Amino acid sequence: MTRENEVPVIEARGISKYFGAVTALENVSLKLYRGEVLGVVGDNGAGKSTLMKILAGLYPPNAGEIFVEGKPVHFRSPKDARDMGIEMVYQDLALAGNMRIDENIFLGRERTRRFGPFKFIDNAASLKQAKEHLDKLKIEVKSVRQRVEELSGGQRQAVAIARATAFDAKVVIMDEPTAALAVKEVRKVLDLIKDLKNHGIGVILISHRLDDIFYVCDRVMALFHGRNFAEAPLSEVTRNDVIGWIMGNKSPVAQAAKIFDLN
Ligand SMILES: Nc1ncnc2c1ncn2[C@@H]1O[C@H](COP(=O)(O)OP(=O)(O)OP(=O)(O)O)[C@@H](O)[C@H]1O
Ligand SMILES: [Mg+2]
């Protein structure tokens, strides 16, 4: 199914990014539609994280444009992107281990109450909201008052995703969310991604694990040496195709020929 006639929820056109003499991205484009899970693959250093950091407002591009629901945007910070519903779950999660789950979910966006000239954090309201939000995403924790450092890797990942989706996110970008997880926890995070999709959220998933890509994605695109290399609906590619793309080869047969020196 092609969605070419639809306005993408986020689109990047012709993005280039240089770090000194290093070209991290050259003329890269990407489209993501509502309720779609887009897998982004590529070898180490292909430019995946850099592209996502640009979409999330962490880095400005040297060239190119970003559109949110068809409108051009210029993010000066992750806050600008977040205000437009673009959230990123970073590889290192950026959670505060010594704080409670609910505090992490509301970090930087605390519900406050006024008392005369004083403003203070409305703990009861944020506890209740955090709990409702976790329930909605079917995330199980003993209590939202638990400290994040007491949680398993998978639970932490779930809290980071809950944080990213607590405030009307349209797009959630995840950079290798399952890389550090035990097998049982991987499935839970991937099911959570399916849930976000079912709520109409667009998800970009960077992963080196083809099992993840083939379990949740609708479409997959590959970057190679900082450029768009290939992309297709998941239903039209095999694992061997995708492995070939990561190695910079569009024909798996040719790739095999190279490996086994058939030519
Ligand atoms: N902050 C930075 N300063 C200088 N060079 C950078 C910076 N961030 C990334 N690069 C370079 O840009 C290129 C792309 O890096 P990037 O992290 O985007 O790759 P990646 O596809 O996410 O790789 P991986 O799979 O290893 O995470 C690499 O050559 C990297 O060394
Ligand atoms: Mg990376």
Reported as a single tens digit per residue, the pLDDT across 96-107 is 767 788 887 877
pLDDT at 162 over 70: yes
- Cβ(50) – ligand 1 distance below 6 Å: yes
Q: What is the 3-state secondary structure (H, E, C) of 37-104?
A: EEEEECCCCCCHHHHHHHHCCCCCCCEEEEEECCEEECCCCHHHHHHCCEEEECCCCCCCCCCEHHHH
> What is the number of other CB atoms lying within 10 angstroms of the CB of residue 211?
14
How much is the pLDDT for 30? Answer: 97
> In sequence order, what E strands does the chain have?
10-19, 22-32, 37-41, 63-68, 71-73, 86-89, 112-115, 118-121, 171-175, 202-206, 219-224, 227-233
- Cβ(120) – ligand 1 distance below 6 Å: no
Average pLDDT, the chain: 86
pLDDT at 80 over 50: yes
Residues 84-98 have pLDDT tens digits of: 999 988 766 667 767
Quickly state the pLDDT bin for 166 (edges 50, 70, 90): confident
Residues 239-257 have pLDDT tens digits of: 999 999 999 998 655 455 5
**Ligand 1 center to 189 CA (angstroms):** 25
How much is the pLDDT for 94? Answer: 67
**Ligand 2 center to 53 CA (angstroms):** 10
pLDDT at 263 over 50: no
- Cβ(45) – ligand 1 distance below 6 Å: yes
Nearest to 29 by CA among 223, 201, 207: 223
Measured from the Cα of 50, ligand 1's closest atom is 18
How much is the pLDDT for 115? Answer: 60
pLDDT at 258 over 70: no
pLDDT at 202 over 90: yes
pTM recorded for the entire structure: 0.86
pLDDT at 120 over 70: no
- Cβ(198) – ligand 1 distance below 6 Å: no
Domain ranges of the chain: 10-93+169-259
Topology classification of domain 10-93+169-259: Rossmann fold (3.40.50)
